[in-house]
Amino acid sequence: MSEKILIFDTTLRDGEQSPGAALNVFEKLEIAKQLEKLNADIIEAGFPISSPAQFEAVKRISGEVNVTVAALARAKEVDIKSAYDAIRNANKKRIHTFNSTSDYHISGKFSDPRYGNTLSEKRNTILKMSYDTVQYAKSLCDDVEFSAEDAGRTDINYLAEVIEAAIEAGATTINIPDTTGYTMPKEYGKKIADLFKKVKNINKAIVSVHCHNDLGLAVANSLAGIENGARQIECTINGIGERAGNASLEEVVMALKVRKDFYDFHTDINTKEIYNTSKMVSSFTGMIVQPNKAIVGENAFAHEAGIHQDGMLKNRETYEIMSPESVGVQKTKIVLGRHSGRHGLKARLKELGYILSEAELQKAYDSFIKLADKKKEIFDDDLRTLMGDEIVPRNEFYELVYLNINSGTNSIPTATVSIKNCNAEYSDSATGDGAVDALFNAINRALNLQPNLESYQVRSVTSGREALGEVFVRIRHDNLSFTGRGVSTDIIEASGKAYISAINQQELHKAEQKNVEEEKEIIKAV
């Protein structure tokens, strides 16, 4: 029997740290339920101390899934306490605490003399701090993971010392992050092998790999770690994450499955749920999957060249190392229409990973009928898009209630909008370089805001003239990015919805910051 590799999914934590990929609580819950269906072993649900919204999301997820829920915490008691409070109700829970170990991080983050004056003094402080905080985490929760941040660039002897101390303090999983995506597969594999030689109590913990993709080597490095003794891989759906992202879950899982002859390992991932999960994450985060992305890209199973098509017809294995069905890509497209009915819609949505309450199903059905009036054939991608746009509740500060555009070859594009929130309705008009520019200017004037437009992307969800158009907008404010998404058969309306949705994310963030400031004031006053 082959050995099992644990899959630790961090889409909702490291993945959500991708610029502009912020998810709301409801989106996180849907993704967590889908990750459970995918059969991930551990779901890292967030970083509770970092914001009230993060805390709330981790808490909600903990109450609703049956898989191990991990929460991240720095090596500080207040972080660890907050992580524990957020996962307290989970059936299976893990505290994941981390501390910096590389000289780069020590000189950057521990420059204050209270940590010591020399590198050696600072290293001692970090060692003790790691021991103490793991011990504290262990007093709250049996399952404790310790990560040595920037382990990829950490001196091996010091790394071994810190890890030995963390295991002694009670850590049951030891994670070796290549935080900056710097290492080469051979080098990273050797680091893992060396730790098995140098850390006396290493057999009391599971060694985990956590690789970033700055040089495009996250998957290769993760596999090198597994070859050298690690038994847990930390990864994200579609490889999303900080900067160039993390190791992609679908790639590591399929590499181990397709090349079982080479590795002789297995995971418990239900690979047939990979495609649905990828689509859900892409749609909620607004991060479009590149067409040539391995496993889940639109072209991953497309054979264009005549010689390839001919070979495929004769024998599929000529050019295909895994079948599309094995990752959940449907061979035949299932089409729904106006007459499909509520039951048909409910059954198809369930197959796509959406389990809805009666009220949600009614909302989904109403949107489905509206769309079916405009578009005769409704494909899976249309349904996924509808789910992302209409059904998952968003924190709606503003809603676009009226929109009128005048645009033509010899006229100045002009837009008029009305936007409401719970207090009032705001209307204004503006001109612009084109219809979309005029629309965004009108929204800015109506709301008296001036966000910086970072990116605007439009795509058709399925083919055909009456296809749904999906727009992603990213705006920047105070050094933070916010993404919005809008869908309609009318691209201008979709653009307006996407822009307002990004503004809503920004407003949500402002409200959260305000709450945090107010709480601080209350604590000070007490």
Question: Amino acid identity, residue 12?
Answer: L
CA angle 231, 233, 237 (to 5 degrees): 155
Q: How far is the CB of 17 from Zn ion (least distance, A)?
A: 8
SS3 content of the chain, % helix, strand, coil (to 5): 50, 20, 30
| Residue number closest to Zn ion, CB atom | 14
Q: How far is the CB of 256 from ligand KIV (least distance, A)?
A: 21
DSSP class of 209: E
Between 62 and 213, name the residue whose CB sits nearer to ligand KIV. Answer: 213
Strand 3-4 and strand 265-266: the pairing is parallel
Cα 64 off chain centre by = 18
CA dist., res. 443 & res. 462, Å (int): 29
Identify what 98 binds: Zn ion, ligand KIV, none; CB under 5 to 8 Å per kind.
ligand KIV
Between 24 and 147, name the residue whose CB sits nearer to Zn ion. Answer: 147
Between 150 and 380, name the residue whose CB sits nearer to ligand KIV. Answer: 150
CA dist., res. 175 & res. 210, Å (int): 7
- Going through 59-172 in order, the beta strands assigned E by DSSP cover 68-74, 93-100, 144-149
Between 242 and 380, name the residue whose CB sits nearer to Zn ion. Answer: 242
Report which of 6, 5, 9 is spatially closest to residue 235, judged by C-alpha positions. Answer: 9
Between 14 and 164, name the residue whose CB sits nearer to Zn ion. Answer: 14
CA dist., res. 21 & res. 12, Å (int): 10
Identify what 414 binds: Zn ion, ligand KIV, none; CB under 5 to 8 Å per kind.
none
Identify what 74 binds: ligand KIV, Zn ion, none; CB under 5 to 8 Å per kind.
none
Between 58 and 405, name the residue whose CB sits nearer to Zn ion. Answer: 58
Between 14 and 250, name the residue whose CB sits nearer to Zn ion. Answer: 14
Query: Is-contact 162 148, C-beta < 8 A?
Result: yes
Q: How far is the CB of 244 from Zn ion (least distance, A)?
A: 11
Say what angle helices 249-258 and 218-227 make with each other, to 10 degrees: 50
Query: Is-contact 484 499, C-beta < 8 A?
Result: yes
Strand 411-420 and strand 399-408: the pairing is antiparallel
Query: Is-contact 329 275, C-beta < 8 A?
Result: yes
β-strand partners of 178: 211
Instruction: Return the structure tokens found at 325.
Output: 């069905």
Which residues in this chain contact ligand KIV in the complex, by CB under 6 A?
Answer: 14, 98, 147, 149, 175, 177, 179, 210, 212
Q: How far is the CB of 145 from Zn ion (least distance, A)?
A: 13
Identify what 84 binds: ligand KIV, Zn ion, none; CB under 5 to 8 Å per kind.
none
Identify what 28 binds: ligand KIV, Zn ion, none; CB under 5 to 8 Å per kind.
none
Q: How far is the CB of 110 from Zn ion (least distance, A)?
A: 19
Between 7 and 502, name the residue whose CB sits nearer to ligand KIV. Answer: 7
Identify what 147 binds: ligand KIV, Zn ion, none; CB under 5 to 8 Å per kind.
ligand KIV
Which residues in this chain contact Zn ion in the complex, by CB under 5 A?
Answer: 14
Q: How far is the CB of 147 from Zn ion (least distance, A)?
A: 8
CA dist., res. 370 & res. 355, Å (int): 21
Identify what 469 binds: Zn ion, ligand KIV, none; CB under 5 to 8 Å per kind.
none
Q: How far is the CB of 234 from Zn ion (least distance, A)?
A: 7
Identify what 27 binds: ligand KIV, Zn ion, none; CB under 5 to 8 Å per kind.
none
Q: How far is the CB of 212 from Zn ion (least distance, A)?
A: 6
